[in-house]
């Protein structure tokens, strides 16, 4: 059950990475507003998935489900930051 939930959350994380990378490489930019929209949608969907799995799980594994799901979200969010970071830094024109 834990593995299935984390695979579903990983697919959502990969979708966020692909969407963010597409926005950065497309040239539309990845300012704070699109970043927060992607993050909020990932958190909302992932929280709903965790809640659905909690409804069908036994009480003694709730903590493990919640922690593994949140760690999975955090890992994919940092991977998304590393993937888009180089293009965002090199894309800006700095006048020094």
What's the pLDDT band for 88 if we cut at 50, 70, 90?
Answer: low
Tokens of 77: 């969010």
Average pLDDT over residues 6-33: 80
Supply angle C-alpha 34, 41, 23, rounded to 5.
Answer: 30
pLDDT of 30-45, one tens digit each? Answer: 666 777 888 888 889 9
- Sketch the domain layout of the chain as residue ranges: 2-91
With a cut of 80, say whether residue 86 has pLDDT above it.
no
pTM for the whole thing? 0.76
Shortest CA distance to 13 belongs to which of 82, 80, 71, 70? 80
What's the pLDDT band for 28 if we cut at 50, 70, 90?
Answer: low
d(CA 22, CA 15): 10
pLDDT of 71-84, one tens digit each? Answer: 999 998 888 888 87
């Amino acid at each position: 059950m834990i593995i299935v939930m984390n695979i579903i959350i990983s697919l959502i994380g990969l979708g966020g990475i692909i969407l963010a990378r597409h926005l950065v490489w497309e040239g539309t930019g990845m300012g704070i507003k699109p970043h927060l929209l992607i993050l909020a949608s990932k958190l909302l969907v992932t929280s709903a998935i965790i809640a659905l799995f909690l409804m069908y799980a036994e009480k003694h594994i709730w903590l493990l489900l919640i922690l593994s799901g949140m760690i999975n979200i955090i890992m994919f969010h940092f991977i998304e930051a590393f993937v888009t970071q180089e293009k965002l830094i090199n894309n800006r024109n700095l006048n020094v």
